[in-house]
Structure 1
Amino acid sequence: MRLSNLADYAVVTMSAAARHCGGGRTSAAELAAETGLPVPTVQKVVSKLSAAGLLRSVRGAGGGLQLARPAAAITLADIVEAVEGPIALTACIDGDECAVDHTCSVKPHWPAVNAALRGALAGIPLTQLSKAAPREPNPSGISA
């Protein structure tokens, strides 16, 4: 399984927005500059994240974008679902037709698999994603 580019960009954008926590506001243009993503892409992502209640747009002087709730209360699952919809590894869960639906012995198990995947993603808060990644040890021992 691989996230779509848009879901990946949403995670990157939300991570950047989380670094503006504490009442700070930002703009789509600033988020694009910080992330290296094109402004139209960030605007599209911001629209989806706002519709899902993860970002809030404040109008007027001093306005801009801010997290709609604390970063610790937003999870990777929330962000992915804002862009991709409900987490489901197979189409048959949504009621889509399947060639083997009438004989499939696995279909009853997909809800548990999907719940486990969602649970894993829900266990990763935005606060964790917005931190700087730990530096990997340098095996040569030579400092950069």
Structure 2
Amino acid sequence: MLRLSKLTDYAVVVLMRLDAEGGVRNAPALAQATGVAEPTVSKVLKLLAHAELVEGQRGAGGGYRLTRPLAAIPVSDVIVAIDGPIALTACVDGAQGGCEAECLCQVRGQWDKVNDAIRSALADITLADLRPPGQGLRQCGGHAHAAAPVTTALPAE
């Protein structure tokens, strides 16, 4: 099963919150606003800063801010920042020594096509694309959260 890690999911939540609130926000404030544990938010922010998706500001009133708008942050950048390179198999991109059957494998190198397609799809979707239309903030358990997308029922035929 292909599934993003919880940490990557939390990273997207934190980035969306930084965008929604604007300016500089610290880890405790982001933890409170998102409902994600503060140590997890701190870890995510450090990884995102290392990948230059956010930048930290020290001192009083310090915290983190986005380095570019959500429309300029592909989902693939967030995944790579948190989980490392996107790779479906150990032998993708010609890697050696990741599989005990690699010398006999008949599909070695063929997974690259699938991997490239997934990377391309994730690179074509930005965080702005994940934001629901008319996004606002809603209260949930005492915390402000991004509003759920509004759906409109289709007329019956």
* 8 Å Cα contact 2:25-2:63 kept in structure 1: yes
Q: CA RMSD in A?
A: 1.9
Amino acid aligned to 1:103: L
Structure 1 residues 135 and 96: CA distance shift in structure 2, 3 A: farther
> Structure 1, unaligned stretches of length 5 or more?
140-144
* 8 Å Cα contact 1:18-1:126 kept in structure 2: no
- Measure the CA separation in 1 of the matches of 2:21 and 2:3: 28
Residue in structure 1 matched with residue 150 of structure 2 by the alignment: 135
**TM-score with structure 1 setting the length:** 0.84
Secondary structure of 1:91 counterpart: coil
Amino acid aligned to 2:118: L
> Structure 2, unaligned stretches of length 5 or more?
136-147
Residue 138 (structure 1) shift: 6.0
* 8 Å Cα contact 1:16-1:130 kept in structure 2: no
- Measure the CA separation in 1 of the matches of 2:101 and 2:54: 41
* 8 Å Cα contact 2:56-2:62 kept in structure 1: yes
Equivalent residues, number: 137
Amino acid aligned to 1:107: R
**TM-score with structure 2 setting the length:** 0.78
1:119 matched to 2:120: yes
Residue in structure 1 matched with residue 54 of structure 2 by the alignment: 55
- Measure the CA separation in 2 of the matches of 1:51 and 1:39: 18
Residue 116 (structure 1) shift: 0.9
* 8 Å Cα contact 1:11-1:79 kept in structure 2: yes
- Measure the CA separation in 1 of the matches of 2:51 and 2:10: 15
**Larger helix percent:** 1
Residue in structure 2 matched with residue 142 of structure 1 by the alignment: none
Residue 70 (structure 1) shift: 2.2
- Measure the CA separation in 1 of the matches of 2:102 and 2:72: 38
For structure 1, which segment, 124-133 or 27-36, has the greater mean C-alpha deviation from structure 2 after superposition?
124-133
* 8 Å Cα contact 1:13-1:31 kept in structure 2: yes
* 8 Å Cα contact 1:76-1:125 kept in structure 2: yes
Q: Which has the higher contact order (CA 8 A, sep 6+)?
A: 1
1:39 matched to 2:54: no
Residue 134 (structure 1) shift: 2.4
